[in-house]
Chains A and B, each alone.
Chain A
Amino acid sequence: MNRYFRELSVTAALGLVLLGLAVFAPAFYQPQPLLSLATREAPTLVVMCGMALVIICRQIDISVGSQFSVCSVCAGLLAARGWPLFLVVPASAAIGAVLGSLNGLLIAGLRLPSIVVTLATMVTLRQGLNLVRQGEFVNLPDGVQWFGLSQATGQWVLVAAALLLLVTMGLALRHLAAGRWIYAVGSDTEAARLAGIRPQFVTFLVFVIMGALTGLAATMNLVQSPQIQPLTGAGLELKVIAAVVVGGVAISGGRGNLWGAFAGLLLLACISPALTHLHIEAYWEKAIQGAIILLAVVADGLRQRTGGQR
């Protein structure tokens, strides 16, 4: 109980919000809008899984938004050239992995601070994309949207795929040795090295996984619309970092899990529709999001101060 206090409290907060919605705005619980909401958040969920790994490893990646845009545009161009989707998806993931390995090389190889490296790659990738594409949209051919299925089926497929990935990664992080390596490196790099783990290699891999997942998420976003605009994914990094942190993953590394991060994402994702249903102006969304992040970290801080377990 004590050990998972953070995860449980986020889940409780989420439950409260859902309960409040059930009482004050039952219209929130219509299947179709809920499914659409889940579909919209599915790519974010996939990126969030990667970000949780990165933060558990005591690093951070603020370039995911730019990576997402680059992968989206590249995947869109490939699809427009007539590549079948089953090739576009791995190609996009591979492009993401290459971008991620660039971060990984600079951070793990040269031991540069991740926040500055990814700040630089964020700006470079974004502006490079703008330079090449000049803000042009990519029109996708027919048959790409919803994998050529009906919209409802396509939405279910996307949500199911994202959830499957979450469960697989959550279990792997908990039970596989490779998953425990990440915790070990995140909580104490030197101790991990002495225990026979290669911290720099693990860090590198985490960034590659982060990139690959971002590429995958880009294709999940791709199939939702008839065209891709190059700004998709701008600001994504802050959204996923916020979800991960609200979900109880410590920014100082080595603590947290995907289930908590998932609850955090759901909590943040519910704000916008909740505001609509409660007839509050949508402009409050960002402020409330910020307040939730602050509340979550303040709760953490107070608990640590009063001597609770970390």
Chain B
Amino acid sequence: MSAPTNVEGSAPAEPRPSWSWALQFLLRYETLLLAVLVAEWLLFYHYGTSTNRRGVVVGFGTIDRQFDILRHSCEIGLLALALTPVILTAGIDLSVGSLLGLCAVIFGKLWHDGGLSIPLAAALTLGLGALGGGLNATLITALRLPPLIVTLGTYSLFRGLAEAITHGAVTYTDFPASFLFLGQERWLGLPTQAWLFLLVAVVVWLLVHRTTFGRSFRAIGFSPEGARYAGLPVERRVAFAYVLAGLIAALAALIYTSRLGQAKADAGTGYELFAITAVVLGGTSIFGGRGSVTGTLLGVAAIAVLKNGLACLPVVIRMNAAEEMSGLLTGALLLLALTGSILPKILSTFRGRRQAG
């Protein structure tokens, strides 16, 4: 090497080749996920068929189909966005799906039985969501209880309350068209709820990646003690993440109710697992401290396209197994992503062993 060597013997700063930023971009996890997403989409575009409303066979690539995917992924997407800050702080929230159910039922009851106007009922529902998140937050931060167990308890509690309120049977329907517009119509070319989803995505992205407030989530997840010594109000920040999750879950409940035109106690059952899968698939570490909102959005998209695309593959249609195949592949994808995420660590361990021995 002709470059001037460092006398102290520490590694000399090598001049960076001009393509290093490109390589860095290519090796990022998000890029990989984007590639998977594009590959998925192209595969379905090539092989997928479906029939449109007029009974004509069309491909997977229609605008209608894309909007359909967007429409159906909004609620899980919102929950995944809500969970990203929570998981970044090394927490977990199993209760968001149940809270969605409870909020949907309360919204229906307030409007139908309480006689409140839609906006007022919606506002109260959002408040309830924040309250539910606040319950999690209080137990987790004030009493220093493990999030997994607290939210397991509220998972049961919220769903149970929803069932108790509706006696397990009542379904609220007949919502006015102005409310159904939110979940079933288009506004400015996109499904209405997609605008809300985009708004929340932008807000959460700005919060997590562009504010010191949001950056503290990662600091806390990386090392709570370190964050405390750095002067961060750890408890308050963590509590904020859970309250935000509750609030977003309530918003998802409104969208869910509007999309299906009905509110019942089993709304959003199992959504928390899909949302967690999307977040982890998006490269956020379940141990906290590492991850991005972009990754979460890509994870949601990968799952949604997979689910919807499989339903148009002729093979899958013949087997009548779209639901099962998408679940199976999502699980496999998650395992693959997990194994991939620790691959560098394993390789370096092996290398270290070879050098040592």
Contacts and interface: CB of A to CB of B under 8 A. Distances in A.
Interface of A: 60, 106, 110-113, 115-117, 119-124, 126-128, 130-131, 134, 238, 241-242, 245, 251-252, 281-291, 293-294, 297-298, 300-302, 304-305
Contacts, number: 150
A116 B150 contact: no
A281 B155 contact: no
B325 interface: yes
Contacts of A115: 92, 148, 286
Interface of B: 92, 139, 143-146, 148-150, 152-161, 163-164, 166-168, 273, 276-277, 280, 286-287, 320-321, 323-328, 330-332, 334-335, 338-339, 342, 346
A110 B342 contact: yes
Given A127-B331, A281-B164, A301 B280 contact: no
Given A112-B339, A290-B158, A298-B145, A131 B139 contact: no
Contacts of A289: 156, 160
B12 to A, nearest CB: 34
Nearest to A287: B160
B155 to A, nearest CB: 7
B139 A297 contact: yes
Given A120-B334, A120-B338, A251 B155 contact: no
A235 to B, nearest CB: 10
22 contacts: A106-B339, A111-B342, A119-B334, A121-B331, A122-B331, A123-B331, A124-B327, A124-B335, A128-B328, A131-B325, A131-B328, A238-B152, A245-B152, A251-B149, A252-B146, A281-B164, A286-B163, A293-B153, A294-B153, A297-B146, A301-B143, A301-B145
A300 B153 CA distance: 14
Contacts of A128: 324, 328
A119 B273 contact: yes
A304 B160 contact: no
9 A-B pairs with the lowest CB-CB distances in the bound complex, closest first = A287-B160, A290-B157, A286-B160, A290-B156, A127-B327, A124-B331, A301-B143, A293-B153, A131-B324
A285 B160 contact: yes
Given A301-B143, A305-B143, A290 B154 contact: yes
B196 to A, nearest CB: 28
B125 to A, nearest CB: 19
